[in-house]
Chain A
Amino acid sequence: MKKWLNPRSAFGITLITVALLALPFVAAMGGQAWVRILNFAILYVFLALGLNIVVGFAGLLDLGYIAFYAVGAYTYALLASPHFGLHFPFWVILPIGAVVACFFGVVLGSPTLKLRGDYLAIVTLGFGEIVRIFMNNLNAPVNITNGAQGITLIDPVAIGSFKFSTTTQFLGISISGPQKYYYLLLALALLVIVINLRLQNSRIGRAWQAIREDEIAAKAVGINTRNLKLLAFAMGASFGGVAGGVFSAMQGFVSPESFSLIESIMILAMVVLGGMGHIPGVILGAVLLTILPEALRYGVGPIQMAVFGKMLVDPESMRMLIFGLALVLVMRFKPAGLWPSPERKRELQDAGARNG
Chain B
Amino acid sequence: MAELLLQANNVSKHFGGVKALRDVTLSIRQGEIYGLIGPNGAGKTTFFNCLTGLYIPDGGGFVFDGKSLLADAPHQAAERGIARTFQNIRLFGNMTALENVMVGRHVRTKAGVFGAMLQNAATRAEEAAIRQRALDLLHYVRIEDRAEDLAKNLSYGDQRRLEIARALATEPKLLCLDEPAAGMNHTETEELRELIDGIRRDGTTILLIEHDVKLVMGLCDRVAVLDYGALVIEDVPAVVQKDQRVIEAYLGA
Residues of A in contact with B (beta carbons under 8 Å apart) = 195, 198-199, 202-207, 209-210, 213-214, 216-225, 231, 235, 343-344, 346-347, 350
Contact = CB atoms under 8 A, between A and B. Distances in A.
B86 A221 contact: no
Interface stretch (B15-23, B72-80, B205-213): B72-80
Given A214-B90, A343-B94, A231 B113 contact: yes
B103 A219 contact: no
B114 to A, nearest CB: 10
B107 A213 contact: no
Contacts of B79: 222
Given A219-B54, A221-B103, A222-B75, A210 B116 contact: no
A170 to B, nearest CB: 32
Contacts of A199: 113, 116-117
B95 A210 contact: yes
Contact of B116 (A198, A219, A224): A198
Interface centre among B78, B92, B119, by most A CB within 10 Å? B92
Contacts of B166: 221
* Shortest 3 CB-CB contacts between residues of A and residues of B: A222-B78, A222-B107, A202-B116
Interface in B60-97: 74-79, 83-84, 86, 90-95
Contacts, number: 104
Interface residues of B, number: 43
B240 interface: no
Contacts of B84: 220
Interface string B94-107: 11000100111111
B127 interface: yes
A221 B78 contact: yes
A177 to B, nearest CB: 31
A140 B166 CA distance: 57
Contacts of B117: 195, 198-199
Contacts of B94: 213, 343-344, 347
A198 B120 CA distance: 12
Does more than half of chain A's interface fall in helix, strand or loop, or is it mixed? helix
B40 interface: no
B54 A203 contact: no
Interface centre among A209, A213, A222, A344, by most B CB within 10 Å? A222
B54 A220 contact: yes
B194 interface: no
A233 to B, nearest CB: 13
B116 A221 contact: no
Nearest to B89: A217
Contact of A206 (B53, B77, B99): B99
A216 B92 CA distance: 10
Given A213-B95, A347-B94, A221 B127 contact: no
Given A221-B167, A343-B150, A203 B74 contact: no
Given A221-B107, A221-B169, A231-B113, A198 B102 contact: no
